[in-house]
Structure 1
Amino acid sequence: MSSIPSSSSGPLAGVRVVDITAVLMGPSATQMLADLGADVIKIEPPGGDKTRAIGPMGDRKMGPIFLGANRNKRSVVLDLKVPEGRQALLKLAETADVLTYNVRPAAMARLGLTYEALRAVNPRLIYVGMFGFSQHGRYAPSPAFDDLIQAATGVTAAMTAASPDGTPGFVPLNLMDRSVGLYAFGVIASALYAREKTGEGQRVDVPMFETMVPYVLGDHLYGRKYLPAQGDFGYPRLLSSARRPFRTKDAQVCCVIYQDHHWRAFLGILGMGDLYETDPRFRDITTRTAHADELNRFVEKHLAERTTAEWQQLLKEADVPVFPAHTFETLLEDEHLQDIGFFRDEEVPGVGTVRETAVPSEWFGTPPQGYRPPPALGQHSAEVLAEAGYSPAEIDRLVQSGATHLS
């Protein structure tokens, strides 16, 4: 791990990450590292990460999307297009454990920041790229965004198939960015473990397209998993246009009537217990999956006959999974999340009070502690450059050259 002392705690305390990523995929991965104690040094161009300007407080370069993916990090401004900025980046890499980036590799090559260049200054460095496509195929030079990867991996096709009127659409989340970021987090942790055994760093590429293809086809390859095919594409339960939270007398509720005992219990509540034995659609998980759309509509019809509270009580007593369908607003009021103190108020200099979420994993031996607010642009430039060995006069010259900026 890094030879520079760390004041952080947690399972990744002592790991230093030089993070050149921006927007969401890379920053979400490195925030997970930072949450668990890694010292993440966020390298930003003079204009900052573009997400700083999105949404409220964007005029202060502290928008909500940025705040949501950059806590527990330090911000250093470096213009990597000028020699002084590139040299400073190489200096920081000398004592880093990991370097992450999410521009296309050709852009890193133009900057003179290839793996070979970084390995020359630190053979133990783990060099991780997150970008659109494997560099061994024809899509290698193509740019990628969340929407494009949703379309490229068939997510939009699944959304179309599941839509009651066949309207195409996107999942209204940055699903690809956040999922690949989560995978990259695991890849980085694995690479750190491999280095502990071998003593050597390595380059690792994490392409979005190839990461998400098995993510989607794990559900929807379905009958085409076999050669010859044993059916068509698409997991019927997931593609049912009636698969949604169901309307009750007074609200909406989600229930998953899935296992044999779930269906026996639900039909018993309805006073239709005999259907489990007499209606072949209910016979087993194979027949129920084949008739997913019909059975979802059956459930939908009967849930409308009672209130949400009534169904919660009846289904919980029958050990059938049930949960009210939250809105964004009611999610913030969830009693379980209140029990565990999941949301907390934190002060961010220059912004005010923000709502933060807890680190979701709960550690009983090396718990991460403390909180570093998302940084202002260049807030830690002088601090980090001094740690790398730059004198105050040298830092001043970097400022004068435009290679860095001090907040």
Structure 2
Amino acid sequence: MTTGILNGLRVVEVSAFIAAPIGGMTLAQLGAEVIRIDPIGGNIDYRRWPLSPSGSSLYWSSLNRGKRSIAIALDKPEGQEIARALITQPGEDSGILLTNLPASGWMSYKQLSEHRNDLIMLRLTGNHDGSGAVDYTVNCATGFPTATGATTDPVNHVLPAWDIAAGLYLSTGLLAAERARRKDKQGRELTLALSDVALASVGNLGYLADVQVNGTVRQPMGNDLYGALGRDFKTKDGRFVMIVAISNRQWRAIGKATGLTDKFAMIGPMMDVDLNTEGGRFEARGAIFALLEHWCGARSLAEIRSALDGSGVLWGPYQDFGQLLAEDPRCSEANPMFGRIDQPGAGNILAPAGPLGFVGSGRVPPQPAPVLGQDTDRVLSDVLGLSGAAIGKLHDAGTIAGPDKAGTKTN
């Protein structure tokens, strides 16, 4: 197995749902040892859809690949003490907590740092004031749903974009804090608000500035590419493709590949626009799209693929999840990011490793997610040095649980 670049780093994760688990999994995919602590029986995300026929959550397992799982009675003082010991374990490569759960009481930075003063703790909240929010309640306020679709009615997308972005911010922040600790030996509490991730993105993409400078609010325009040339087109066999031109080179490639160069050239003078600029192509997009609609509508997806692949045209087919898996070579073992894993509760499946590739050193191959509580005994033995007898007593007292007690079936 390839050793990841973060080999030796230990992170304890106490989390649920998407953002923090993605942050932890990102680190695990880079080689870090990520120990996820869940309450006995699983946290509130443990049985979230989609489920396999066995009742195992494909959602949970897909967000926790490569981690170690322990199940502890976090509502008991004895369980909290075990979790605290794991979080504050001495060593320059440990003492790091990642969480998106309420960090109060025994799990507050104040109390945990009393046991290790150089503790690094990353804490995700909903809003900057600590109040609750989830991706769906954040996204609706960002302006994106009202700019999506073809009417002024808001349109939600199914991608939890802010959760994903927050998870990546968490992993970046953790690595930044860990690097700083190596220099100054100081602990740090980092906070990240999910709504701030979204609001920063709105600002970084220029939409807030557009309102302030131009007094304009972006309006919905269907699948047209804002400010440039691009849209979806229906094929002869009922599929859809996206064709885009950002640069002049890509614009010329469309004309050459489709044989429409001469017809495109007539549009500029007729509409008094310069088609060698993004703005000109955007203004004339209706006329350009009419030609491309006719061209795509007379050809099958296979014929369009043959004409556009290797031509310099930016294009892609629309695919549902099933078509993605069945038809796209990028989502297969032909892509070195992918490999097959034996996932408990799901069987042998294709799964991605981390998308970062380190040239010359390979990447950590995809790893299955653990069964809940799978690593409880080994972690307590390896990390805390507890004896088999001590671990057995904790089992008997209901303070910890292994995979047999945690289970994978739904009720």
Matches within 5 A, 1:63-212: 63-95=57-89, 96-103=94-101, 107-109=102-104, 111-135=105-129, 140-141=130-131, 143-159=132-148, 163-212=149-198
- Alignment counterpart, residue 346 of structure 1, candidates 326, 341, 350: 341
User: Does structure 1 residue 255 correspond to structure 2 residue 250?
Assistant: no
User: Does structure 1 residue 404 correspond to structure 2 residue 396?
Assistant: no
Change (3 A) 1:302 1:223: farther
Residue pair 2:88, 2:96 contacting (<8 A) in 1 also: no
- Alignment counterpart, residue 379 of structure 2, candidates 376, 379, 384: 384
User: Does structure 1 residue 213 correspond to structure 2 residue 199?
Assistant: yes
Name the CA distance, whole Å, in 1 between partners of 2:4 and 2:352: 17
Percent identity for Structure 1 against Structure 2: 26
Deviation of the 1:388 alpha carbon? 0.9
Matched residue, 2:214: 230
The code of the aligned residue for 1:131 comes to T
Matched residue, 2:324: 331
Deviation of the 1:360 alpha carbon? 1.8
Q: 5+ unaligned residues in a row in structure 1: which ranges?
A: 1-6
User: Does structure 1 residue 285 correspond to structure 2 residue 278?
Assistant: yes
Deviation of the 1:59 alpha carbon? 8.2
Residue pair 1:264, 1:273 contacting (<8 A) in 2 also: no
Q: Secondary structure at the match of 1:191?
A: helix
Residue pair 1:20, 1:100 contacting (<8 A) in 2 also: yes
Matched residue, 1:355: 350
Change (3 A) 1:194 1:230: same
Name the CA distance, whole Å, in 2 between partners of 1:39 and 1:289: 49
Q: 5+ unaligned residues in a row in structure 2: which ranges?
A: 404-411
Report how many residues are paired.
386
User: Does structure 1 residue 275 correspond to structure 2 residue 261?
Assistant: no
- Greater shift in the superposed pair: 121-130 or 365-374: 365-374
The code of the aligned residue for 1:263 comes to W
Residue deviations 1:294-347 (CA, integer Å, cap 9, x gap): 755664354324333443444446522122222322221322444235443322
Deviation of the 1:102 alpha carbon? 0.4
Change (3 A) 1:293 1:45: farther
Residue deviations 1:166-199 (CA, integer Å, cap 9, x gap): 4322111222211211222222222222222222
The code of the aligned residue for 1:214 comes to A
Deviation of the 1:210 alpha carbon? 0.5
Matched residue, 1:364: 359
Matched residue, 1:321: 314
Deviation of the 1:247 alpha carbon? 0.7
Q: TM-score, normalised by structure 2?
A: 0.83
CA RMSD of aligned residues (A): 2.9
